[in-house]
Amino acid sequence: MKISYHGHSVVYVETKGKRIIIDPFITGNGLTDLDADKLEVDVILLTHGHNDHVGDTVELAKRNDALVVAPFELATYLGWQGINTHPMHIGGSHTFEFGTVKLTQAFHGSSFTVEEEQKIVYTGMPAGILFTAEGKTIFHAGDTALFNDMKMIGERNTIDLAFLPIGDNFTMGPEDAEVAAEWLQAKRVVPIHYNTFPVIEQDPEAFADQLSGKKGLSLKVGESIEL
């Protein structure tokens, strides 16, 4: 399994001959190295409905005939726009040909903002994603605060690689993310959701260095890791 980071919360996974992207916020993301018009994907996994996570989902799904896996309300909303979706909900798991997806809880909001109409569309509960393929498990926490059940997630799953937000203001900051890393017992931890906007500016390398056991890994944009 090859996993790469592409700015904000965008994670790209290649496994079993499939190309999977998590939270494809590309257009409007000044930190990404991806081009939404050229990106090839088979599957899109979404943690929640905020615009900086749904991003280019509809356009990517239509152009690539990609499957979108998302929490129920968000999947329904996107399905009405003519794309192929698989709805799930927190606590549920499903095994696809490309791997197993399980949604965990996350403490955040979830809505899609239609700027031109000054309208906010409710898109259900936010989630984290446990993804397992080729005998390895990654955890994308989505946008979340620190919460005690991260201990249970760590106890019940062997997490090889965890992606945790560190931006603060909207999500956990570095201090809380450090506790989350300990509770999740992940073998490696990558910081996400930082520096895209001034209000979430953080030092990802400093965060990675402060994690015990040399488990912190600050991936640069476009950099990848093999599991």
CATH code for the domain of 119 = 3.60.15.10
Give the range of the structural domain holding residue 166, as residue numbers without chain letter: 2-216
Tell me, what DSSP letter sits at residue 76? H
Phi, psi of 67 (to 5 degrees): -85, 135
Its pTM stands at 0.97
Residue 41 lies in a domain: yes
Q: What is the pLDDT of residues 4-62, one digit of tens each?
A: 999 999 999 999 999 999 999 999 999 999 999 999 999 999 999 999 999 999 999 99
Residue 22 lies in a domain: yes
Q: What is the pLDDT of residues 124-140, one digit of tens each?
A: 999 999 999 999 999 99
Residue 224 lies in a domain: no
Token pair of 62, please?
A: 């239509």
CB 36 within 8 A of CB 12: no
CB 130 within 8 A of CB 139: yes
Residue 104 lies in a domain: yes
Residue 182 lies in a domain: yes
Phi, psi of 19 (to 5 degrees): -115, 120
Query: Total domain count for the chain?
Result: 1
- Nearest-angstrom CA–CA distance, 179 and 75: 31
Q: Is 58 helix (H, G, I), strand (E, B) or coil?
A: helix
